[in-house]
Structure 1
Amino acid sequence: MNQHEFSSQVVQIVSKKLIKPATPTPPKLITMKISSLDQLNPSLYLSFLLFYPAEFGCKVDNQIAKNTERSKLLEESLSQVLTLFYPLAGRYTKDDLFIDCNDHGVEYVEARVSGQLAPFLRRDVDSKQLIHLVPFQSESPTSPLVAVQFNTFDQCGGVAIGLSISHKIADGFVMSKFIDRWAVACRVGIHDQIITNNPPRFDLALLLPTRDTIPEIKPVVKLIPGLKTTSRTFLFHSLVISNLRDTVVVKEQLKWRRSSPSRVQLVTTVIWKALIRLNQAKHGKLRPSVISNTMNLRGRCTVLPISENSCGNLYRPVTVQFVPKDKESKPEFQDLVSLLSDSITNAVNDCTKPQNGDDIFSMVTHAWREAGEEFHKDEVDAYGFTSMCRMPLYADFGWGKPIRVTHVQSVAEMIMLFDTRDGDGIEAWINLDENDMQRFLQDPHILAFTCQA
């Protein structure tokens, strides 16, 4: 990738302001305790980018003028939707473990980029090259819990919307719901039934109250001192995924008689198998490998009164282990798919067992402890996977869906999966050690099954 394409593109901050809820938060809702599962989460921000191309045939000056109006609409609709997502406009009080829903607002930044949008859409762009398009935040008593950056590209009129949201109070599901409701409010108005029906709920702490102490759990990442990572995005077309499924089902007809593996399971397995081979070549032997996937708990704990619209951190890891039988054995694709599928099935079954909040907390902490211990074993290669598929991230604010959505920045080796714009394929955002990435790019199955250009 030509670094000059990015070094020559200056991001200039034009304005910063705080957007407050259109309607003040009622006094009875001013204090919101975080849940015990929120306590388990690190103090970091989730950052994503939504890219929107300029309208076809529209002159750049006219497009930039349109973008000015679009930014105003985003501000107005953001203020409106914050009346529903009122805790996001508050501030986190770390010592007392609650959100002060004081309506201080979310940060809204307008920026101009002196260049073209196109270079940022390439799949070989490193996430570090996108960092200036999202609003940086760090946890403090005065930090907004949400920040938005509206970037206009001067030379083409394209737009990139950067969003950062505190992981202490929101998981990927909440973030996607917030983006989706905000887009509807901008497109058709805050009173549309899509928004007013099934509003977000912030009562998770009633079932999972904060705790005086929480267990120490090893992080499900390997933060290696001096590790230099790089990221790439790999496209798995829907036809490739369909062919993979057909191959597995044919070979394992009895096992998959009731349900075949999902798109996410198939893509995860392709990547996992490539990582196993990579480490085998790197170390001269086949080594144990562990992956951790995140599972949304909404709709899974069927005995308990957890709403599909519950906001907060409501997920758990699912740990999958590959242990070579001997030095000569090699992992077959269908065997890895089975390991992944069985682990997910077992986790789903576990979710039906909790009878109260304490049971949920025990289940989740046990899952995190198991994952953390596996990730920190010697001579075990471990990677974290997170799927954002089937979440409404391709937000139409009134000028069409984004051409692309991506994650921004990470210091750890991890993989995130996103739907493609049409919802049928999958884009895998992969962050690896710089040297490992070069090996990964040459893996025959990665070359065969993905598009990297």
Structure 2
Amino acid sequence: MEMELEMETISTEIIKPSTPTPSQLKTFKLSLLDQFFHFTYVPHVLFYNPPPPLENGTKNDQKMTSYLKDSLSKTLSLFYPLAGRLTMDESSIDCNDKGISFVETRVLNCSLSTFLEASNRVDLIGRFLSETIYDDQTIGNNNNNRHETTTVTELVPLAIQVSIFNCGGFAIGSQWLHKVCDAVSWGNFLKNWAAIATGLKANVTSSEFATAISLFPPCDLILPSGMKPRTLKPPDDALKTGRGGCIVRSFLFTPQAINALQALAISEHVPNPTRVEVVSGFIWKHAMVAVATTANAPLCNSVPSICSSAISHAVNMRPRTNPPLSSACFGNLIIDAIAHSEGENEASQRNIELPDLVTRIRNGLAPFKDAEFLSKFQGEGGAQVMGNYKKKLKDQNDSITTYKFTSWSKLDMKPDFGFGLPVWVAFTGGRLSSSFKNLIPLIETLDHGIEAWLILDEQQGSVLQSDPDFLQFASPIS
């Protein structure tokens, strides 16, 4: 059944690093790869069962929150760029220890178990994400005080919200600025935060902050040093207000369903399809059907772009360079690999076989897993190569539908802060702005299934939810 959440904000504060950042580390230069990322925040929400009660039998909500804040402060000392602010010319982060946003809220009207059973829980995920991502929002959470515009120097690179259910279960919602780091870096942050929280010092690892810029030196920026900071429109409020051009749908692929898809996807060209390849190919196939269905299939004969599509997959460059880089390398060390499909009409989309799509995905990703190919983006000449490639991607996105996949399946994104593993890992929900359209994160479940979070046009999402061929392998979360 559907439900509404009643929540109240308990506190909003800034958490600063526990130790000051040394003067020689005060400037963190952004790499070429960082420069090409937009000022977009990546959401991530972890849901946990109630921690054990105190010795007197009472809930230890306050102790738990204090424990998380203290360990978070210590972790920020290791990941000091996240506690800084972007410079006016957007070339660096001033590691000034201004800190990150930390909001504590309470869910007044339900327990965690009740929430997880709600049929509209995906639509409510945005309530567990903080709105406090500007410096002027550090006190209170009053939307009336928000800027119509903001500047890059006011953006807080990381915002955390801890929401406590009335049973003592809780959620840790985070939003990190993609301009600063990728999901691999975020997973490394979580791993260290959990290690510090649980006192497992042997599991604390040092990040490498100089590697990215040494391999991918930045190009000249549009803004000369010393100019006024660029004015930005604030990130869309659609997570909480319900405005936007697309909607989130989440589907579960169980281990059994994935095994069945792998068996169906085997071909001469790809005898060993991976879990991510088959789930991506299966979603791609049915998303194309949904587009053709909602766009009026006969139009596809005269407007091929309606039925032509592509997918991109974010490829982690770290293990694929020569020599391979450590997973502890901080920043954005990912690149989008592309695979294409063309069809004339809805029937042709339905007739595309999964093995063919998986082969296209394998072939499309292959160059981006080759160290020699990736070396073209490195060094002083890398800026021109990367610029040309990004322009090619933009031109493609403007002409055909591109589904943007990102897999978190191999990342350490399920931290145990001493209370057990999260019972559910979520991305975001509700209605979002069109800037998120066709983004599809894949998140591994505790039992090694995959939850796919599809951010689609609402009509296309509805087609998928009623497609029996799709639902044979994909189960709607809610």
Q: Report the TM-score range of the alignment, normalised by the length of the smaller protein.
A: 0.7 to 0.9
CA gap of 1:294–1:176, structure 2 versus 1, over 3 A, is same
Counterpart CA distance in 2 for 1:201 and 1:392 is 19
Equivalent residue number for residue 475 of structure 2 = 451
> Structure 2 counterpart of 1:169, which letter?
V
**Offset at residue 392 of structure 1 (A):** 0.9
Structure 1 stretches lacking a partner, 5+ long: 215-225
CA distance in 2, matches of 1:153, 1:271: 34
Q: Aligned AA for 1:243?
A: A
- Residue 208 (str. 1) matches residue 216 (str. 2): yes
2:258 corresponds to: 241
Tell whether the 8 Å contact from 1:127 to 1:231 is kept in structure 2 after alignment. yes
> Which residue type is aligned with residue 22 of structure 1?
S
Please state how far the C-alpha of 1:183 moved relative to its aligned partner: 0.9
Equivalent position of 2:33 in the other structure = 37
SS at match of 1:148: strand
Question: Are positions 1:133 and 2:128 aligned together?
Answer: yes
Work out which of the residue numbers 153, 170, 175 in structure 2 matches 1:159: 170
Q: Give 1:327 deviation, angstroms.
A: 8.1
Other-structure match for 2:407: 387
Say which of 330, 339, 361 aligns to 1:320: 339
Q: What's the secondary structure of 1:358's corresponding residue?
A: coil
Please give the alpha-carbon distance, in whole angstroms, between the structure 2 residues aligned to 1:292 and 1:47: 20
Where structure 2 has 5 or more consecutive residues not aligned to the other structure, the ranges are 135-150, 223-242, 301-306
The within-5 A match list for 1:384-423 is 384-408=404-428, 410-411=432-433, 412-413=436-437, 414-422=439-447
Amino acid at match of 1:357: G
- How much has 1:122 moved relative to structure 2? 5.3
Helix, strand or coil for the counterpart of 1:357?
Answer: coil
SS at the partner of 1:449?
coil
Residue 206 of structure 2 is aligned to residue 182 of structure 1: no
Amino acid in structure 1 at the alignment position of 2:446: R
Whole-angstrom CA distance in 2 between matches of 1:404 and 1:326: 39
- Contact kept, 8 Å, 2:297 with 2:345, in 1: the verdict is no
Contact 1:126 1:230 in 2 (8 A): no
Deviation at 1:434, TM superposition (A): 1.6
Q: Which residue of 2 aligns with 1:368?
A: 390
Number of residue pairs matched by the alignment: 423
Give SS of 1:141's match: helix
Write out per-residue CA displacement over residues 52-86 of structure 1, whole angstroms, 9 at most, x where no aligned residue: 12259x79x956x3222111111111111112111
- Does residue 195 (structure 1) correspond to residue 204 (structure 2)? The answer is yes
User: Is structure 2 residue 330 aligned with structure 1 residue 311?
Assistant: yes
Matched residue of 1:170: which SS? coil
Give the residue type in structure 2 aligned to 1:195. V
Query: Identity of paired residues, percent?
Result: 29
Instruction: Please give the per-residue CA displacement for 1:12-39, whole angstroms capped at 9, x wherever unaligned.
Output: 1111222222221111111111112111
Structure 1 residues 94, 172: CA separation in 2 closer, same or farther (over 3 Å shift)?
farther
Mapping for residues 263-342 of structure 1, pairs under 5 Å: 263-282=275-294, 283-285=296-298, 287-302=307-322, 306-324=325-343, 329=348, 330-342=351-363
TM, length-normalised to structure 2: 0.82
Q: Which amino acid aligns with 2:363?
A: D
> What secondary structure sits across from 2:179 in the alignment?
coil
Deviation of residue 346 (structure 1)? 2.4
Quote the RMSD (CA, aligned, Å): 2.6
Q: Does 1:255 align with 2:264?
A: no
- Aligned-pair distance for 1:367? 3.6
What is the CA distance between 1:353 and its match in structure 2? 3.9
Q: Provide Cα deviations, 1:331-361, integer angstroms capped at 9, x if missing partner.
A: 1111011101110112223645438423544
Q: Relative to 1, partners in 2 of residues 1:419 and 1:243: Cα closer, same or farther, differing over 3 Å? A: same
For 1:24 and 1:99, the matched residues in 2 are separated by: 15
- Contact kept? 2:129, 2:173, Cα under 8 Å: yes
Could you tell me the TM-score, scaled by structure 1's length?
A: 0.86
* Cα pair 1:127 1:230 within 8 Å, conserved: no
1:102 has 2:113 as partner: no
1:336 is matched by which residue type in structure 2?
L
